[in-house]
Structure 1
């Protein structure tokens, strides 16, 4: 019988839950099926491929915005991908993604991101690794050596400080490529719940009373430094002294806690104030990106390259294939489709694979490196401009889904 892909209904939840347990394991006590009310209020979109009457594959889509090139970009975050073991390698995943991403594109989501268990699977679907969400262990005794801050004090945050914490995150995130904006469910949480989720949220406050950094942390168990670990979900600082103040506050636990396990990504400037690199990556989660809409993603980016004009093409995915011209007018990129036949495009313009397009858009690789990887072909005279158009911001992620 043929494969049918459709949205998951509540009646499908037992099978949906079963596939999830087979793929990701079953927690102690089992994985509960949500109630109709919980499922209706979830806010995500679930899709499944059915082979006959049986559910063969499933995934979940989170609709949110993430920061790229100084703007919030509508994003389809993919999670919970699972294929029944007996049907793996049968093409179900490709059909499932094609349908789910087609719906995402219709909703105006210009890019899609995910955390892969096996990156090679998703490379074949046009995704590429652009960054990594890492948990890094920092020895707390080392933090006592961080230079004392100037003009910064720390204090415990409360519900009334929620807007200030949000503003710090927004300022930091807008300067990066990749962070989830936390403006939509499930990444936005009410202030009371946000603070209830942590042992404490520590603020860094400058001499004018402005909040210029924060750290959210869970104390953890035990009081023996050799074994006790505290978890730090965010340590975000807008000034080096704010970073110093926050690190030193965490370091004050060193008599009873030996390690801070800090969620981070890339080379965060808040880490540049540390006196040593005595850190260990506890876990790493690669982050992948796929462009869904060439003009929607690459257009509208603010650029100082006024008057730049770059013809290019994308080849390797039916929904992206085509010839395009990017121009910069009034400080903003504009992308228009051309009528050039795709088979002739490589003679006159650079040609990106879907994976190369993802890496270029995220600013994760230069045009030169894309050529080394085979993700960019054709004449090279536009390489410097392509690199300059989308570079300049580091890729950072702070939210796992």
Structure 2
């Protein structure tokens, strides 16, 4: 068995599409035209066994909002391995090549929606949040308090720029949202408006301060009719009330709104906090995972909570390893994060300096994170104390409070599935 990992060419498309159809269902997938395939910015990788395609994945390049800025991101999707070849390290081999290329292209982090999180934890990814479909009863939504100073109207193509600005204003306060400004796979304004029954705008003094994109659904019996809401984003409480009340006005013929959202408990999206109660039911959950690819690019210039004085830390990336399978050396985990740094956020903007210290010796004078622990801390998903409980942080506890504080303040929210 001779294994080769390389970028997919157009001639590989029949087998690439076949394996995708086999892994994800939905029937045979047509091979795109050469012109269509060459026009995309996606990067496709595969492992070939004696020339036959045995595993595949796709990389989307985009930017994600983290700590007040847009961070270049490698989004991984479409990971599939032929069933006869599973368990032979092929996923790790593909990720090693794809993530190394991503780092060379300046992508500081990588994210994905896993079908099985355990596979990707071994590669340094960790679950930082979830993108879910939530059912909320419209008869209760209809009882939302009336807004003050906000009116609603239907959006047109001319409003897409204002909608994108609302999304950006919301996303800048979160960790995780994909930017919708000039992203290569984001849809055109015309197609975006045509996709929905309606996009409702919340307008205050002539300015768009919120929007909801919705598909009415079929039927007029509340017990069985479901409306789908892809976005409900509001920058003010009255904008949220106005949007919810518009959806609630369907309650005599539509019983449920199935809303795409993220966060739960204390981390719920603020637009939900204006509802008279939070009677909701999660029907679909999509965990979202993150891995840091480049510590300096991910953190330099990030708007973190100011902490007095410099804070040293290190990363021991045990996800990077090499194993021998099928006569080939397969390195796993992509870009190795191992190293030691000092971070200074006393002015609110992160500045990093790399320290010349062996990671093995770093436990004596600084906290040491695993790659998974760095992902969780970076996203603000777990405190330093919790990372110690999970085995993702070792070394001195002197700077634990500072690390927790500097990465807190923004919740993880996701609004786009890829």
Whether TM-score is above 0.5 comes out as yes
TM-score, scaled to structure 2: 0.93
Task: Name which of 362, 367, 370 aligns with 1:350.
Answer: 367
Q: How far 1:330 moved relative to its partner? A: 4.7
SS state at 1:46 partner: strand
Task: Name which of 257, 260, 265 aligns with 2:254.
Answer: 257
Distance in 1 between residues matched to 2:149 and 2:227, nearest whole Å: 27
Structure 2 partner of 1:226: 223
Tell which deviates more after alignment, 64-73 or 270-279.
270-279
Structure 2 partner of 1:292: 293
- After superposition, give the CA deviation of every residue in 1:295-329 in whole Å (9 maximum; x if it has no partner): 11122112452652111111124411112211236
Distance in 1 between residues matched to 2:289 and 2:21, nearest whole Å: 23
Task: Name which of 230, 234, 245 aligns with 1:248.
Answer: 245
Task: Name which of 359, 376, 382 aligns with 1:359.
Answer: 376
SS state at 2:357 partner: coil
- After superposition, give the CA deviation of every residue in 1:56-91 in whole Å (9 maximum; x if it has no partner): 110000000010000000000000000110110101
Equivalent pair of 1:43/1:185 in contact (CA under 8 Å): no
SS state at 1:103 partner: helix
Structure 1 partner of 2:140: 142
Structure-to-structure mapping, 1:1-400, within 5 angstroms: 1-27=1-27, 30-206=28-204, 208-266=205-263, 267-303=268-304, 305=306, 307-315=308-316, 316-318=318-320, 319-328=336-345, 330-400=347-417
Equivalent pair of 2:315/2:338 in contact (CA under 8 Å): yes
Equivalent pair of 1:201/1:214 in contact (CA under 8 Å): yes
Q: How far 1:280 moved relative to its partner? A: 0.8
SS state at 2:297 partner: helix
Distance in 2 between residues matched to 1:55 and 1:93, nearest whole Å: 13
Structure 1 partner of 2:331: none
Distance in 1 between residues matched to 2:188 and 2:21, nearest whole Å: 29
Tell which deviates more after alignment, 245-254 or 320-329.
320-329
TM-score, scaled to structure 1: 0.97
- After superposition, give the CA deviation of every residue in 1:137-158 in whole Å (9 maximum; x if it has no partner): 1111111211111111111111
- After superposition, give the CA deviation of every residue in 1:247-298 in whole Å (9 maximum; x if it has no partner): 0000111111111100000000000011112111010000000000011112
Q: How far 1:332 moved relative to its partner? A: 1.9
- After superposition, give the CA deviation of every residue in 1:329-380 in whole Å (9 maximum; x if it has no partner): 6542122221111211112110000000000000111111111111111110
Distance in 1 between residues matched to 2:119 and 2:192, nearest whole Å: 35
Distance in 1 between residues matched to 2:65 and 2:97, nearest whole Å: 25
Distance in 2 between residues matched to 1:261 and 1:115, nearest whole Å: 20
Q: How far 1:103 moved relative to its partner? A: 0.2
Distance in 2 between residues matched to 1:43 and 1:81, nearest whole Å: 17
Equivalent pair of 1:70/1:174 in contact (CA under 8 Å): yes
Tell which deviates more after alignment, 130-139 or 181-190.
181-190
Equivalent pair of 1:132/1:287 in contact (CA under 8 Å): yes
Equivalent pair of 1:65/1:184 in contact (CA under 8 Å): no
Q: When the two structures are aligned, how many residues end up with a matched partner? A: 398
Distance in 1 between residues matched to 2:185 and 2:33, nearest whole Å: 21
SS state at 1:131 partner: strand
- Going from structure 1 to structure 2, the CA distance change for 1:130 and 1:197 (only over 3 Å counts) comes to same
Distance in 1 between residues matched to 2:197 and 2:304, nearest whole Å: 42
Q: How far 1:185 moved relative to its partner? A: 4.0
SS state at 1:345 partner: helix
Tell which deviates more after alignment, 264-273 or 182-191.
182-191
Q: How far 1:183 moved relative to its partner? A: 2.3
SS state at 1:323 partner: strand
Equivalent pair of 1:220/1:228 in contact (CA under 8 Å): yes
Tell which deviates more after alignment, 99-108 or 298-307.
298-307
